[in-house]
Amino acid sequence: MPELILLLIALVSLAFSAESAVFFCIVAVAVAIYRRQTLRNDFEKFQSNLTEQADALRREIHWTRDKLEKVTAQVAELRASAEQGAAVSTESPRVEPAAVPVATPQTQVPQAPPPSPKPVETPKIAPLAPEAKPVAPPTVAPPRPPMEKPGEIPVAARTVTPPVVPSTPPTQQPRPATPAASVQAPPPPSFRSQKPQPTFTERLRKALDLEETLGTNWLNKLGVVILVLGVALFGMYELSELGPHGKVLLLAALGAAMLGAGIYLDRGDRYRIIGRTAIGGGWALLFFTSYGAHHVDAMHVIQSEPTDLMLMLGVAIAMALHTLRYRSQVVTGLAFLLAYSTITLTQDTVYALTAGAALAVGIVIIAVRMQWYELEVFGILSSYLNHMYWLYKLLGMQGANHHPFPEFTASTAILAFYWLVYRFSYIVRKIETPLQENISAVAALLNTLLLLVVMKFQSVHPELAFFALLVLGALELGFGQAALARRRRTAFTLLSILGASLMIMAVPFRYSGENRAILWMIGAEAFIAAGIILRENVFRRIGNVTALLVALHIVVLEVVPLFRQRAVTSGPLTHSGTLLLTAGILFYLNAHPLRLRWPELYSEWVDQQMLMAQSYFGAFTLALGLWAIVSWEWTALAWAVLMVALAFANLRYKTVDIYQQALLLAVSVTVRTFWVNLPSALAGTNHEHMPRVLIVSLISAAMYFSAWPLGKAQGERWPRNLLTWFATALLAYLIATDVQHRWVCVAWLGLGVALLASARRCRLDHLCYQEHFLALFATISAWAKLDVVVSGSLMQRIAPSLLVAAGLYAVSRKASLWTDRRGQWVAYLHTWAATSLVAFAAYVEFQAIVLPVVWMGFALVLAWIARRFLVKELAAQAHVISALAVIQTVTVVFHSEARVQGLSERLLVTCGVMAALYVMSRLVPMNEEQRKLELHHVYTWVASTLGAVLLWYELQPLSVAVGWALLGLLLFEVGTLRNVRQLRFQGYVALFSSFGRIFVVNLAAGGQPGDWLSPRMLTVVPVALILFFVYSQIAFGEDSDSSIGRFNVTAMLAYAGSITVVSILYFQVSSPWIAAAWAVLVPILLGTSIVLEKEVFLQQAILLSVAIFSRGMIHNLFDGSYFTDAGWKGRFAELGTAIVVMLISLPLAYRLKRHFTRNEKGNAILRFVSKLISRPEQVIFFVPIVLLTFMLALKMRAGMVTVAWGMEGVAVFLLALALNERSFRLTGLALLMLCVGKIMVIDAWRLAPRDRYLTFIVLGLALLGVSFLYTRYRETIRQYL
C-alpha cells in the first residue's frame, strides 16, 4: 500500500514539479523493494513455522494411530472373551454391546495421551451390536474398574475410542463376522526429512492463493489510490461552483470519512487490510488537502505559506502519532514521508528546513524507542536528499562552486545537526539482531556519506576541507571509542574505519601535488604500530588496508608517470626509485618481520591475506624501484640480486610468498634478459659486447646460485629446476647471439657437456634434461648449417657438424644418471642424432647419384662398430641408413640415364648398393632369435629386388623376363651352393615373376607367321627351360625346398614350366590346331611322369586332356563358321589329330594306372581328382572318344553319321576286349545302341534311301559282329565284370 500511495503522490506532484515526482518514484521503488524483502523474510519464517507444525502434527498422528491399533486389538480380545463368557454363563448378552459404542470425551479421561489439536477420527469401526442406539456423551456411564466384571471392556479401551461417528443405522450391518475385519489399519507414517515436491493440488492451491492475494490485498489498494486520485482531480477541476473553501472542505471530509471508515474496519480481522488501506488513503487525502489549501489555485484558502506548512506538518505529525498505534513501521514511515514531502514542496526559505530537523529528531526518537532502524535509514535519506534538493533549487546544478551564499552557515549547521542526531542515534541504540546491526551500519555509513556529498555540493571554502575531514574523522574515531564503551564492537569498527578513512582522505586536500604516498604510509605505519601496542586488530587492519591502498596508489598513479619518465630518459630515476624502494621495504617489514615477531596478532585469515598482498606489493615496488634506479641491461642484474636475496630470505621466513616472488622475479629476469640484454647486439645499439656477456653470465650464475636455496626451502624440485632451465636458456641464447654462426652448435654441445658433468657430480637429473635439449638444438643447428652453408672448404662446411656428431657419440653413454631403460634411450637418441648428422652431411656433400653408395658405406661402418663394440642402436641406425640408401636408389638412381666410361651409372651404383646390402646381411649384428627368424635376409631380399628392378630398367621389355629368370637361376644356384634358403626363395620369386611377365610382354610379341624363331619363342622358351631346370634341381636335389609354408614350390615350378609351354603353343599355333598341339604334350607329360616318377606331370596331362576336350568341343566343333565347312582339314584333320594323338597316348596312361598312391582324404573334389589320377587311362580314353563321337555327329554328312558311330562302336568294343576294360566295352555298346536308336527315330524316316540302306547294313553288321564277339568272349568278359 505505501508504495502505491507514494506513486499516487508522485502522480499528483507531477503536475507541479517533475523533480519531486521523480523523487517520490524513487522512494516508492525503494519502499517496494524493502517491502518485498520484508515480506520474503516473513514468508520464510512462516514457512519454517508451518513445517515445524506439520512435523509435530505428523508425529502426533503417528502416535495416535499406534495407540488406536493397540486399543482395537484389546477391544477384539475383550469381545472374544465376552462371547466365550456369554456362551458359558446364563446371563443375557444384551447388556454387553451397550457399552461398546460409548465415547468418552478427552477432557474426562486423565490417562489420555497429550491432547491433539483436533479430535482424531476412528477409521471405520463398525458397531458391534446392531440394535445399539447412539449414546450421547452426557449419558455415558462413568468408567468402572477393569476387573469389575468379566467380559467388560476396560477403561483404557473406552477412553481412546472417539465417538466422532456417533452411530450407524442398525439395519445396515446386523452383526459383523469378526470384529477385526471392520478395522482398517492405517498406512505407516512417513518421516522423510526431505521437502516433498509440490503436488498438482498444491500448485493449484498456490495459484488460488495468488488470486486471493490479488483480490483481497491489491485490488482494494488500487481502488483506493484511484479513488483518491479521482476525488482530488474532481475536486480541483470539476466542482468549480463549490469554490476553494468548499473543495477543501469536501476533500477534508472525504479524507476524514475514509480515515474513519478505515479505523472502523481495522477493528475486525476480516476487513483489517481494507481498513488500513482506507486509513492510508484518508491520511493521504487529508495531507493533500492541507497542501492544496495553499499551493493549488482552485483550493487556495490559506494565504500564508508558513501557516500552510504548519498545517501540513500538523497533519503529518498527527498521522505519525496515529500510525504509531498500529505499530506499523511502514505506516509511520509513510506519515514521515508525507511530512518530508511537505517540506520539499514548500522549502522556500532555509527556515523551512528546520522542520526537517525536527522530523529528524522525531524519527530518531521513534526509531530508537521502537527499534525501527529501517525508518531511520529512510529518515537519513529523506533529510539529506531534502536538503540537497533545497540546495539544488538555490544554487543550481553546479552547486555553490566555491561561491559564498547567505544561507551557507545555516545550511551547514542544519547538516551538522542532522549528522550529530543520526550519529547519536547510532551510538545509543540497542541492537538485538544481526539484521538490526546491519541496517544500523548502513544508516551510519549513509549519514557520513550523504553529509560529505551535500557538503561538497555547497562547498564554499575548499581550503577548509582538509580540516573538516580531519575533524570529522577524529569525531568518528571518538564516537567509535564511545561505541566500544557500549560494547558495540561493530559500531566501533565501522566508525574507526570511517574515521581513519576520512583522515586519509583529508591528506590530498592539504598536500595536493606532493608525495602523498609517504604520508599515507606513515599513517598506515602509525595505525599498525598502534594496533600492535594496543593489541587492537582494527587499527592494525586499518594500517594494513591503508598500506594496501598506498600500494594501489603507487600502481595506479605512480607507475605510469614512471614509465613516461623512463621513456624520455635512460638515466636513474632516483626520486621515484627511492620512493618505491622505501615503500617496498616498508611493505616487506609489515609483511614478514612483524608477523614473525608477533605471530599471534596475525593469526586470522584476513590479516594474513593483507600481509600476503603487502608482501607481493613489496616485491613489486622493490623491483620497480630497482628498475627506476638501475637502468637498461643492469636492471636484470639488479633483479637477479634481489632474487638471490629473496631466495635466501626465504630460508629464514619460510613463506610461500617470498618463494613465489623469487620465482616470479626469476621469470621476470629471464624475460627481461631475453627482451633487453640479449637482443641488443642484434639491434645494433651501442651497448658493449662484453658487458652483455658479463651481465648475462652473472644473471645465469645468480639463477644457478638461487636454485639451491629455493629448492631447499620448500622441498620441491621444480623451482630449482625452473631456475636452472632459465639459466641454461639464457646461456644458450647468449651463445646463439655471441658465438660465430657456424660454431654455435659446437658451443651448445659444449655447454651441454658442461651441464652433464655438473649433473653427474651433483646428481641433478634436470641438468641432464637440459643437456638433452642442448644436444637437440645443437643437432638441429648443425642440420640447418649443413643445409645453408655452401661456401668455404670442406672442413669449414661440415667440421662443426662432424664435431657435434663426434661429441654426441662421445657423451651418449654418459648422458644420463640412470642405468636402466631410460638411460639407454637417452644414449640411443644421442647416437641417433649423431648418425643423422653424419648422414645428412653426406647428403649435402655428395652427388645424389653416388649418395646411396656412401650411405651404404656408412651403414657398413656402423654395423661393424655395432658388432665389434656391441652397440645395439648403431645396428638399428645401420638399418635406417641402409633403407635411406635403398630409397635413394629407387627414387633417384634408377631414373638416371647418365653413363660413365660407357657404363650406366645406374648399373654401377645399384650394383654397389646391392653388394653392400649382401655384405650387410652378414655383418649386421642380430641376436639369436632374430637370426633364427632370418631377419638379416631382409637385406638380401632388398638387394635381389634391386637387382630385379635394375634388370627391368636396363633391359628391353622383351628381355626382362629372361633376365629375371637368369637372376632367379643365379640366386637359386648360389643359395644351393651356400645352403642359404632365403636366396633360393628369392630365386623362386624371380622365376615366378619372370613367368608372370611373359603373359604381359613376351607371349604377345609375335613375329611373322611361320617364324618359329620369333621374339616370343626366343624369350619364352629359355624361361621354360630355366623353370624346368630349377624344378629338376629341387625335385632330385638334396635340399628340402619342396614346400615353403603352404606353397609346394616344386609343383608350382613344374606347373609354371608346363603352362609356359602350353601358352607358347596357344599363341604360336593357329587357332584350330591348338588342341592338336596341346594333345602332343599329353604323351610327353605322361612319359615324363613315367620316367621321372613324378605325379605332377600326370596331373598336368589330365588337366591338359580336360583343356583339350573343352577346346575341341567349344572351339573346333561348335565355333566354326555358320556357312562354310572349312574343308576336310577344318572338319576332321585339326581335331582328329588331337584325338589320334591322345589315343596313341593310351598305353602310357595304362602304365600309370594306379601308379601313384591314391589320396582318400580331403573333400569330394580332391577325392575325385585323386581318383582321376589313379585311373588316367579313363581320362585319356574318354576325352578323345567323346570328341570323336561329337566330331562324327557334327562334321560327317548326315547320312553317314550312324555308320560312323557304328564303326566307332565296334572299334571301341574291340579295343575294350583287347584291354579287358569294362568301361570301354560299355562305351562301345552304348555307341551301338545309340546307333540303333538313331536309326529307329531318325534315319528310318529322314535319310535318303541309299543312305538309309547303307546305314542299316553297316550297322547291322556291326551289331552282329559285336554280338558275336561278345558271345565268344562271354566268359572272359564275366571275369572282368
How far apart CA 6 and CA 20 sit, in angstroms, is: 11
Binding string to other proteins for residues 1075 to 1114, with x set by CB under 8 A, is what?
------------------------------------x--x
By CB under 8 A, residue 1032 contacts other proteins: yes
Closest CB 1018 distance from other proteins, rounded Å = 5
Q: Is 211 exposed, middle or buried (0-12, 13-18, 19+ CB in 10 A)?
A: exposed
With b meaning 16 or more CB within 10 Å and e meaning fewer, what string describes 633-654?
bbbbbbbbbbbbebbbbbeebe
Query: What are the cell numbers at 320?
Result: 505519525
Residue type, 87: A
By CB under 8 A, residue 1038 contacts other proteins: no
By CB under 8 A, residue 1009 contacts other proteins: yes
Q: Which stretch binds other proteins (CB under 8 A): 767-775, 964-972, 1135-1143, 1183-1191?
A: 964-972
How far apart CA 151 and CA 96 sit, in angstroms, is: 8
How far apart CA 838 and CA 858 sit, in angstroms, is: 9
Q: Is the Cβ of residue 242 or residue 1018 nearer to other proteins in the bound state?
A: 1018
User: What's the angle, vertex CA 337, arms to CA 336 and CA 341, rounded to 5?
Assistant: 115
The answer to whether 1085 and 1042 have CB atoms below 8 angstroms apart is no
Closest CB 775 distance from other proteins, rounded Å = 42
The answer to whether 426 and 367 have CB atoms below 8 angstroms apart is no
Q: Which stretch binds other proteins (CB under 8 A): 274-282, 411-419, 966-974, 1204-1212?
A: 966-974
Query: What are the cell numbers at 225?
Result: 489510490
Q: Looking at 963, 1057, 1206, 1209, which residue binds other proteins (CB under 8 A)?
A: 963
What residues contact 712, with CB distance under 8 A and at least 6 apart? 651
Q: Is the Cβ of residue 57 or residue 1000 nearer to other proteins in the bound state?
A: 1000
Q: Looking at 859, 965, 989, 1102, which residue binds other proteins (CB under 8 A)?
A: 965
The answer to whether 1208 and 1188 have CB atoms below 8 angstroms apart is yes
Q: Which stretch binds other proteins (CB under 8 A): 4-12, 86-94, 797-805, 1028-1036?
A: 1028-1036
By CB under 8 A, residue 957 contacts other proteins: yes
By CB under 8 A, residue 454 contacts other proteins: no
Q: Is the Cβ of residue 1012 or residue 1122 nearer to other proteins in the bound state?
A: 1122
How far apart CA 203 and CA 205 sit, in angstroms, is: 5
By CB under 8 A, residue 706 contacts other proteins: no
Closest CB 901 distance from other proteins, rounded Å = 20
Q: Is 267 exposed, middle or buried (0-12, 13-18, 19+ CB in 10 A)?
A: exposed
Closest CB 1119 distance from other proteins, rounded Å = 5
Helix pair 329-346, 352-370: axis angle to 10 deg: 170
Q: Which stretch binds other proteins (CB under 8 A): 861-869, 871-879, 939-947, 1010-1018?
A: 1010-1018
By CB under 8 A, residue 1012 contacts other proteins: no
Binding string to other proteins for residues 867 to 906, with x set by CB under 8 A, is what?
----------------------------x-----------
DSSP bridge partners of 1047 = 1044
The answer to whether 953 and 998 have CB atoms below 8 angstroms apart is no
Q: How far is CA 826 from CA 236, 832, 833, 1081, in A?
A: 101, 10, 11, 68
Using DSSP, state whether 90 is helix, strand or coil.
coil
By CB under 8 A, residue 980 contacts other proteins: no
Closest CB 840 distance from other proteins, rounded Å = 28
Using DSSP, state whether 305 is helix, strand or coil.
helix
CA 420 from centre of chain? 61
Closest CB 1115 distance from other proteins, rounded Å = 5
CA atoms within 13 A on the CB side of 847: 7
Q: Is the Cβ of residue 565 or residue 959 nearer to other proteins in the bound state?
A: 959
Query: What are the cell numbers at 1185?
Result: 572318344
Binding string to other proteins for residues 901 to 940, with x set by CB under 8 A, is what?
----------------------------------------
How far apart CA 376 and CA 443 sit, in angstroms, is: 7
Residue with the three cell numbers 638416371: 896
Nearest 10 degrees: CA dihedral of 266, 268, 270, 276? 10
Q: Is the Cβ of residue 561 or residue 1037 nearer to other proteins in the bound state?
A: 1037
Q: Which stretch binds other proteins (CB under 8 A): 185-193, 352-360, 414-422, 1116-1124?
A: 1116-1124
Residue with the three cell numbers 631447499: 712
Binding string to other proteins for residues 986 to 1005, with x set by CB under 8 A, is what?
-------------xxx-xxx
Closest CB 789 distance from other proteins, rounded Å = 36
Q: Looking at 89, 349, 956, 1157, which residue binds other proteins (CB under 8 A)?
A: 956
Q: Which stretch binds other proteins (CB under 8 A): 104-112, 314-322, 787-795, 1026-1034?
A: 1026-1034
Closest CB 1113 distance from other proteins, rounded Å = 9
- Within positions 1117 to 1136, which residues make up the interface with other proteins, using CB under 8 A? 1118-1119, 1121-1124
Q: How many residues bind other proteins (CB under 8 A)?
A: 50
CA 935 from centre of chain? 45
Q: Looking at 248, 969, 1141, 1217, which residue binds other proteins (CB under 8 A)?
A: 969
What residues contact 1265, with CB distance under 8 A and at least 6 apart? 1210
Query: What are the cell numbers at 75?
Result: 477391544
By CB under 8 A, residue 726 contacts other proteins: no
Q: Looking at 372, 539, 1067, 1213, which residue binds other proteins (CB under 8 A)?
A: 1067
Q: Which stretch binds other proteins (CB under 8 A): 708-716, 737-745, 779-787, 1062-1070?
A: 1062-1070
Closest CB 1067 distance from other proteins, rounded Å = 7
Q: How far is CA 654 from CA 197, 589, 811, in A?
A: 54, 15, 40
Query: What are the cell numbers at 1199?
Result: 547320312
How far apart CA 3 and CA 330 sit, in angstroms, is: 10
- Within positions 176 to 205, which residues make up the interface with other proteins, using CB under 8 A? none
Closest CB 1003 distance from other proteins, rounded Å = 4
Closest CB 1118 distance from other proteins, rounded Å = 5
Q: Is the Cβ of residue 323 or residue 1033 nearer to other proteins in the bound state?
A: 1033
Query: What are the cell numbers at 657?
Result: 610468498
Q: Is the Cβ of residue 1008 or residue 1271 nearer to other proteins in the bound state?
A: 1008
Phi, psi of 148 (to 5 degrees): -65, -35
Helical H segments across 899-1014, by residue range: 905-923, 928-932, 937-954, 957-977, 981-997
The answer to whether 1109 and 1182 have CB atoms below 8 angstroms apart is no
Using DSSP, state whether 904 is helix, strand or coil.
strand
Phi, psi of 899 (to 5 degrees): -130, 145
- Within positions 808 to 837, which residues make up the interface with other proteins, using CB under 8 A? none
Query: What are the cell numbers at 1001?
Result: 610382354
By CB under 8 A, residue 1019 contacts other proteins: yes
Nearest to 338 by CA among 273, 417, 259, 280: 280
Closest CB 1187 distance from other proteins, rounded Å = 15
| Secondary structure letter of residue 17 according to DSSP | -
Q: Which stretch binds other proteins (CB under 8 A): 558-566, 628-636, 908-916, 1027-1035?
A: 1027-1035
Q: Which stretch binds other proteins (CB under 8 A): 321-329, 746-754, 926-934, 958-966?
A: 958-966
By CB under 8 A, residue 1022 contacts other proteins: yes
End-to-end C-alpha distance for the chain, whole angstroms: 130
Residues at the interface with other proteins (CB under 8 A): 895, 949, 952-953, 955-959, 962-963, 965-966, 969, 973, 999-1001, 1003-1010, 1015, 1018-1019, 1021-1023, 1025-1026, 1029, 1032-1033, 1063, 1066-1067, 1071, 1111, 1114-1115, 1118-1119, 1121-1124
